[in-house]
Amino acid sequence: MNADNLVGRTVAGYHLAKHIGEGGTATVYRAEHPERGLAAVKILRPRLSSDPVAVKRFLREAEYGARVSHPNIVKTYDFGVADGLQYLALEWAQGEPLADFVNRSGKLAPPLAATIVEQLGAALGAAHKAGIIHRDLKPANIMYDPATQTVKLLDFGIARDSELNPEERLTRAGFFVGTLQYVAPETLSGELVSEQADVYSLATITYYLLTQCLPFTGKSPRELFQQLLTQPPLPLNQAERGLRFPPAVEAAVMRGLERDLSKRAKTVDEFARAFCTAATSGPGKKP
């Protein structure tokens, strides 16, 4: 059975109705279940089924997702092996990737950005309380429903248990995983990271929602890598000519982007509260 040709088949009770996407490790289907209704089913590519690291990472996404219950995190229904295929069944999230929404809608006004950041902060806070650091926050890993202004966080594929010993990690020192544009500088060395790495990524997402720009302008991975390690981020009010935000909004965002951990917001809740208060307390300026 080929994971790339399963439309119309049933896997572990899930009827795979439509192919909706794929990544380097898994194929994703829109599925129907007699009891749960719509679901998203991810199936590990068969060629990776003999790769212990790929299998463990796939299972880790399932296990970590199942450990956290929060209305802004996509539910994990079940996972396992069926017909020789590793599968993961998830709640079907309404809407579209946040990246697509921003590309279509343009820069978000601070109050709308605050609505999104508040929900993401709550979701990440729940994950952190469960001992899980996401490590791959980016607009493509967030579903957004414009009709309800609701977000759903997904993809714990490279998340890490904050209690793991160094030897239990799937990533090796000096080996980076994640999305460079949104990653915290301390992650680049491969060292163990704290919840503050997710704070940095959330601040980068916030910066992007407001400006459709990123705080570093490197054109190549090498240049971006170097900037992240050695240069300060571009201040929010310098992201685009003529685009200005209240000082409190800029201060909240830039505190989340501090390279110095002693100066960065300590928790996602602290960051989200500071930004949301600043973004909704004044008239601001719609970009």
What positions carry a catalytic annotation?
136
Do 257 and 265 touch, CB atoms closer than 8 A? Answer: no
- Provide the CB-side half-sphere exposure for 133 (13 A, CA): 22
Do 78 and 12 touch, CB atoms closer than 8 A? Answer: yes
Do 169 and 70 touch, CB atoms closer than 8 A? Answer: no
CA neighbor of 103 nearest in space, from 136, 144, 153: 144
Residues 6+ apart with CB under 8 A from 96: 143, 144, 145, 146
Q: Is 89 helix (H, G, I), strand (E, B) or coil?
A: strand
CA neighbor of 233 nearest in space, from 29, 248, 211, 242: 211
Distance CA 158, CA 188 (A): 14
Cα Rg for the chain, rounded, in angstroms?
A: 19
Task: Supply 105's token pair.
Answer: 């809608």
Distance CA 224, CA 73 (A): 30
